[in-house]
Amino acid sequence: MRIAPIFAVAALALSSPALADHHGEAPSLEDVLASDHRSQDAGRDQYRHPAETLAFFDVEPTMRVVEFSPGGGWYTRVLLPWIAPQGTYMAMQPDSGEPEEGTPAWTQRFTTAASGWTDLPAENIVAFETDDITEDMHGTADRILVFRSLHGLLNNEAADTQLRAMRRLLAEDGMVGVVQHRAPEDTSYDDASGSRGYLRQADVIRLFAINGFDLVAASEINANPNDPAEWERGVWTLPPTLSGGDADRERLTAIGESDRMTLLFRKAD
């Protein structure tokens, strides 16, 4: 369990002279997006629209921001260097259980990787699993950001548990921003259950409503009308995965990444 150090590390991330000295003046989002550490990520900005998406989610660099299930760190490499100098960045992951002997816990693996991605000291990067959340953390998050991971929660039958944990973390005026692969509304349940990565937007809104959230706004920032969202191999057929290898690569690359919904939620009364 990492409970004891979480808030101490969060405070250090806000006030540490070493962090201030390491960064100097806090970077703008534009500076972060243009930085060298994103040289391999920037080609996907045309599909993921990070500046526009974070503006729609009304994220400010002084906030306490939680990135849910950061995966390979594409958005971490945007959020962490932008948020850490003035606010608090935290990574949240579903409980992964006890690691195998000799294997570091997810929190350690993530903070080490994130430090390598951004040159921020690992000790100033906050990461926790859902079962590490304590009562004193409730009501403290300004934003929780969920990028393309709801289908995984549904596939693992963990969506309700994780959304309710997010609700407990949120401040009263906090919000949850969601980007998710989108299936057409007339898609069958079998094709829009999450097994292919795609979900129907109306189903996502209902899922959040069931777990105590109201929809604030929806945006087409990350829409891709060229994606029919009916691939046999699911969303992974398209870039960046291209699960079919070289088969039809030119056509799939021209289509681009998946069609995505972009939704903003707040706590329901």
The one-letter code for the residue type at 34 is A
Q: Are strands 260-267 and 170-183 parallel, antiparallel or unpaired?
A: antiparallel
Beta strands in 194-259 (DSSP E): 199-200, 213-219
pLDDT at 24: 53
- The predicted-structure confidence for 115-149, as pLDDT tens digits, reads as follows 999 999 999 999 999 999 999 999 999 999 999 99
102 by DSSP, 3-state: which? coil
Predicted pLDDT of residue 20: 35
Q: In the chain, which residues have pLDDT < 70? A: 1-24
Q: Residue 247 has what pLDDT? A: 86
pTM: 0.91
Over the chain, what is the mean pLDDT? 91
- Evaluate whether 68 touches 146 at the Cβ level (below 8 Å): yes
Question: For residue 28, what are its two tokens?
Answer: 């703008």
